Structure 1
Amino acid sequence: MHLSVANWPRADHFTRPEKKERRRTVLDRLAWEAAGVVARPLLERMSRFSRVVNAAALAGESLTGETDEALRHRSVNLRRRLRVDGFAFPLVAESFALIREAAGRVLGMRHFDCQLVGGYVILSGLLAEMETGEGKTLVATLPAITAALAGIPVHVITVNDYLTQRDADLMGALYRFFGITVGCVIHDKTPAQRRAAYGCDVTYCTNKEVVFDYLRDRIVLGHAPGALHLHAEHLYNRYGRSEQLLLRGLHYAIVDEVDSVLVDEARTPLIISRSDAGQGEEAEARQALALAGELKESVHYRIDYEVDQGVNTITVTEQGREAVGLAAASMGTAWQSPIRREELVRKALTALYLYRLDEHYLVQDDKVQIIDEFTGRVMPDRSWEGGLHQLIEVKEGCPVTGQRETVARISYQRFFRRYLKLGGMTGTAREIRRELWAIYGLPVVRIPTNRPLQRQIPPDEIFPTLAEKYAAVVQRVEALYRQEIPVLLGTRTVAVSEYFSGLLARRDIPHQVLNAKQDAEEALIVSRAGEPGRITIATNMAGRGTDIKLAPEVARRGGLHVLMTERHESGRVDRQLAGRCGRQGDPGRCEGFVSLEDPLFKDGSPGLAGRAALLLEKRGAGLWKPLGKKAITRAQRKLEKVHAGARKRLLRYDENRSDTLSFSGRSE
């Protein structure tokens, strides 16, 4: 794909280039989705990208005998041509050949053919779907270095601080070989360090940090003065706003774990807020929780509120509103407004029944710490808005912090659409390819593996109750442990991981636990998960990013065994967990254990789960294979549809809010 970069916008704190947003009408969206039916298959054809393999091999034939200095000289010449002619195919092939040769010398890792294809897909502004373990970290260097040589600032965006720092350090020597500067932005960096990192040719950063830094810049800019205004301000004030800005614009982003960043996490907006503590907040929260505790979901034909676990919401019924009104009659003035008191009680019910300890949050050092539901990690310094965080603090007996007032906010969808060029990679994208096209205009190209997959995935085992499922899982772990086969036991929540830990401890089975409470030790724990007889219990493995190396004797015994103790709301997360075994052509096996009491069935397919329970009782587990697969698929599709709807509503709300703020003369 040819893209001229001769007129690419300058990268500085005055111009701050980004793609201008155009509000899409309903007709625009329908036309775009309809166009995708025809355009996507054409854009996703592998033949368009696989030709880079032969071209790079041909370009690389003359490189093997050259000195390092000669390779650098070639890159200087290539830099000039890229800036004039852009990403013309012959130049891209030459660049990839140079990078592959240098990587073999500097890193001891030479790009495979499939990695060349993945790199070309990303450089072309598409998404590469590559199996886990196929070396996506190394793949990113191909488009990143090529774009940097062309003078385009690059953001390589991934899901957590550990992977960001690791990848920047691991690949840093290869970038420096070509004279390309590399920066890294993680949570504990100061503003000066962030500014310096974003000033580099290639910047590794997490999705949350780059969005928050963008919002901080928007706050500094206020009413978004133009480049000329900032230049003039700089002339008479050395420490003006241009010196406070962090980013140089949104040029080219390479997103790792695309499905997690652009889809899963896009259900929640990114918000910068300031403390707005008011009088009586704690007392009000205690009153709300006490009143909510008196309401009944369903007792003797009395229904005060209804819970929809699928969309994670609670609705107060007419009976509930009457009960709240009667109880509030003798309470303070804050409770006399019907709208306000019903909202307070609804949030209190949410805090009591929808947000659970060791699943949605932890309590550490008397602080409520939010757990990222997609990665199982703690998100420091994050809080829920609208008083929900304070209600949970009261619920858990923690010191109450002040409520937060929103200063700036943006959704992931609107932020990433502002990059002038966007590409990425992931192991699981095909289920959401329509949404990726509709929201971001990104086709998905599936890249073949370097070696044939040997991963085995038998049908799930079904149990009527949680207790029977847990017993079967522990029995299976013990059997594999006796054979010295390593096991990765995947759980959905911290609470379940610790429950299994207790069950194994009672059987004297040594094991390691990896959840949000052991986040700092994760790399070491994961890297050793392939040793003989090692048992590792882990919450959501999305984005862990650390290779599990198999000992030779483990490979002969069938490789790592992943035991999936519960199906997730998204089938993609299940595939991510399964992808921890059978990597890079290694043997491996993923076994699923499902109970009809699992949240997935209660929330997503209660009717079908009930019929399955009756059949299990009457005829045994023989009928589970067809019915169980149908129940899981239906439940996951229903919940994924609900979540997709929530993402669309967030985007529409964000767009409408932006229109309102623009009309009033304010920025985001």
Structure 2
Amino acid sequence: MSNASTAAITGALRPGLIAGRYPQRLDPDTGWADRMIRSIQGALARLTIDHHAGLHRVAEAIGRQGKQLTGLSNTRLENMLVDLRRRFRSRGLSDPLCIQAFALIREVSFRTLHKRHYDSQLMGGWVMLHGQLAEMETGEGKTLTATLAAAALALAGVPVHVITVNEYLVQRDAVSMGPLYKALGLTVGFVTADMKVEQRRAGYACDITYCTNDQVAFDYLRDRLVLGNDHSQLRLQLESAHSRKTRLKQFLLRGLCFAIVDEADSVLIDEARTPLILTRNIDSSEEHAIYRQALKLALKMENDRDFFLDPKGRGVQLSLIGQQGLSRSAKTMDSVWQNARRREELVCQALHALYLLHKDRDYLISDGKVVIVDANTGRAMPDRSWERGLHQLVEAKEDCPLTDAREQLGRLTYQRFFSRYLRIGGMTGTAREVSAELWSVYGLRVQRIPLHRPSQRRELSPRIFPDAPKKWAAVIASVKQKQATGQPVLIGTASVGDSESLSERLAAKGILHQVLNARQDKEEARIVAAAGQKGQVTVATNMAGRGTDIPLAEGVAGLGGLHVIAACRNDARRIDRQLYGRCARQGDAGSYQVFLSLEDDLIQQNCHPAVIRFLSRIPAHGGMFFRKLNLFFIRRAQRRVEGRHREARRILMQHELQTDQKLAFSGNME
């Protein structure tokens, strides 16, 4: 490709005459045939995950360039960076210039952070720079890897969003990598939920911005409200020439140019089942009494007679008896209860709040408020709320003050949002299972990156028990055994409730430990830093499953390294692998073991009762065949959940497309 062509492509990635003042990709007009072709391509893309030959050649070329830089002064490196930025502007992101940029970034990183990128990190950065997803095993240093692609793009004048799953990682990574970016002559900022408008705008104005997926997506929705139905890039250009108060000055973002998505499978897959809804509070004090009435009516109903629960699909259905009983009760009530459809919807929502949403699993009570807990990350989400009155019904159930309802201002799915970036790259430790979906939805090809050092992670035989008390007793016995040798232990649990219940059992046995769940999110850095100390026991939810590095204290590697106990199976194999990946990072020693019970939610809700009865009759020490039989049915249950979640994402995308077609005349989907 010629220098002129490369320069034009790079110019189209940054705000300006080519891409416009607010660059973003238009939604593609895809029919069923296009979607079918993308699905087939996605299935075929899985065959190329392990093709590394080209990446090895790139790493070798960067290494050769780097050898020429080691003896140069800092002033000489600064001059080379100035020259590189000039050549990026004229020639674009050509491979020779990118190789030189990676070598410079690597050398400056060593001089400022005392960290030199490994060859595996060079490969990962190269993959992301070229709009692909790098699957790097947990512990391979993805935070440092991202600096290669982010800095190279920023040196070429492309605004970069480094997007990750929580604000702890946003601030940690922006601060820890800040000296490197500053030495490269780049500005770095971050955006968190507690920032005001001007602070957010300043954060996005930097060359590189660290932010969470929900913050950048909601800020984009706010920009869409400012943009309105007029999406003309030319009109935005003309506004700045003849008006002082332009829409450009009201925008928070500079457009959607390039995103590097950390923990990409969590953001692009797990989070994609729920649409983003931008709202504002409206006075709904009159409806509070209605919600309380709905709750009282629901409490009088009997399961399997008046209504039926679907724990798998999180649904409630009234029976004919329930509908008739509700109709009789409504005769003496206010007018809102005379509408059959409205009263049945209210009561079904109340039943959902009562029987399908559980305290310390789906939500917490904090300072008298209901706070949703994210099922994928285990973190508290104070800015989120359930819609259609469900949040107020949970508040009434927990006897909390009822908040006002929220009016919808804009709506967008993650699938549509990330598809609007001009280019997207990503990284995660667990992408191979969803590589086909990542390609078919986002056009992201997965490349597995070789390990820096051979893995020493040991898997111990899983243990399966007929009931929860036996499982927890075995977990505690295993903890005591490991602690006696000084080996640190991390125990992963399914929910806040499980983590606190286990904490009580450990305390009763006199085992000192730390708990990390949504209640302790402010102490996360301290708890994680101590989890690799000799004899330390840490009980955690999925908060400890992604992005957390647990450093081993001196001498711990010789004791076997960190030992991870998985006290549950998650909804997806990827999330399980994230937890196992907390141990044995970058060639360290480490091990993990799974403890399961036939009373676990995954099994109870996704296995036929006859299968559970059959499995309960298998002796606990029945040998390899029976253990594999147990694991077969448990894995089958997990596949069912993965299939339902995949179908939910497909239906959500289909619904968005249908809504888009119906509202096409308005010119504004959101």
TM range (shorter): over 0.9
Deviation at 1:608, TM superposition (A): 7.0
Larger deviation: 653-662 or 435-444? 653-662
1:168 to 174, 184, 187: 174
Distance 1:608 1:625 in 2: 18
Name the counterpart of 2:15: 11
SS of aligned partner of 1:239? coil
Distance 1:237 1:14, change over 3 A: farther
Distance 1:361 1:618, change over 3 A: closer
Distance 1:82 1:279 in 2: 58
Aligned-partner residue type, residue 357 of structure 2 = Y
Distance 1:77 1:40, change over 3 A: farther
Contact 1:569 1:636 in 2 (8 A): yes
Name the counterpart of 1:183: 189
Aligned-partner residue type, residue 548 of structure 2 = T
Name the counterpart of 1:532: 534
Contact 1:612 1:624 in 2 (8 A): no
Name the counterpart of 1:259: 265
Name the counterpart of 1:105: 111
Name the counterpart of 1:51: 57
Name the counterpart of 1:557: 559
Q: Which whole-Å deviations, capped at 9, do the CAs of 1:310-331 have from their partners, x for residues lacking one? A: 2222222333222322222222
Q: Which whole-Å deviations, capped at 9, do the CAs of 1:603-632 have from their partners, x for residues lacking one? A: 222357425434425984664321122112
RMSD: 2.0
Deviation at 1:42, TM superposition (A): 4.6
Distance 1:322 1:622 in 2: 54
Name the counterpart of 1:327: 329
Q: Which whole-Å deviations, capped at 9, do the CAs of 1:68-99 have from their partners, x for residues lacking one? A: 11112112222222233333222222111111
Distance 1:143 1:435 in 2: 24
Distance 1:391 1:39 in 2: 46
Name the counterpart of 1:28: 34
Name the counterpart of 1:273: 279
SS of aligned partner of 1:592? strand
Aligned-partner residue type, residue 494 of structure 1 = V
Identity of aligned residues (%): 49
Distance 1:18 1:608, change over 3 A: farther
Alignment of 1:536-551 (within 5 A): 536-541=538-543, 544-551=546-553
Name the counterpart of 1:409: 411
Structure 2 residues not aligned, in runs of 5+: none
Distance 1:233 1:596, change over 3 A: same
Name the counterpart of 1:431: 433
Task: Say how many residue pairs are matched.
Answer: 664
Larger deviation: 543-552 or 173-182? 543-552
Name the counterpart of 1:92: 98
Contact 2:546 2:578 in 1 (8 A): no
SS of aligned partner of 1:425? strand
Name the counterpart of 1:584: 586
Distance 1:419 1:283, change over 3 A: same
Q: Which whole-Å deviations, capped at 9, do the CAs of 1:429-471 have from their partners, x for residues lacking one? A: 1111111111111111111111111111123101000111111
Distance 2:255 2:408 in 1: 24
Larger deviation: 102-111 or 379-388? 379-388
Larger deviation: 104-113 or 35-44? 35-44
Distance 1:401 1:234 in 2: 41
SS of aligned partner of 2:471? helix
Larger deviation: 52-61 or 387-396? 52-61
Name the counterpart of 2:401: 399
Aligned-partner residue type, residue 271 of structure 1 = I
Distance 1:456 1:262, change over 3 A: same
1:476 to 475, 478, 483: 478
SS of aligned partner of 2:161? strand
Q: Which whole-Å deviations, capped at 9, do the CAs of 1:633-660 have from their partners, x for residues lacking one? A: 1111110000011111111222222333
Name the counterpart of 1:660: 662
Larger deviation: 424-433 or 76-85? 76-85
Larger deviation: 345-354 or 611-620? 611-620
Distance 2:663 2:385 in 1: 24
Q: Which whole-Å deviations, capped at 9, do the CAs of 1:266-309 have from their partners, x for residues lacking one? A: 111111111223353121111111211222222xxxx3322222
SS of aligned partner of 1:398? coil
Distance 2:621 2:460 in 1: 21
Larger deviation: 576-585 or 646-655? 646-655
Aligned-partner residue type, residue 608 of structure 2 = P
Contact 1:55 1:90 in 2 (8 A): no
SS of aligned partner of 2:202? helix
Deviation at 1:9, TM superposition (A): 5.2
Name the counterpart of 2:296: 290
Distance 1:63 1:145 in 2: 18
Name the counterpart of 1:512: 514
Alignment of 1:418-457 (within 5 A): 418-457=420-459
Distance 1:572 1:9, change over 3 A: closer
Larger deviation: 492-501 or 47-56? 47-56
Larger deviation: 107-116 or 466-475? 466-475
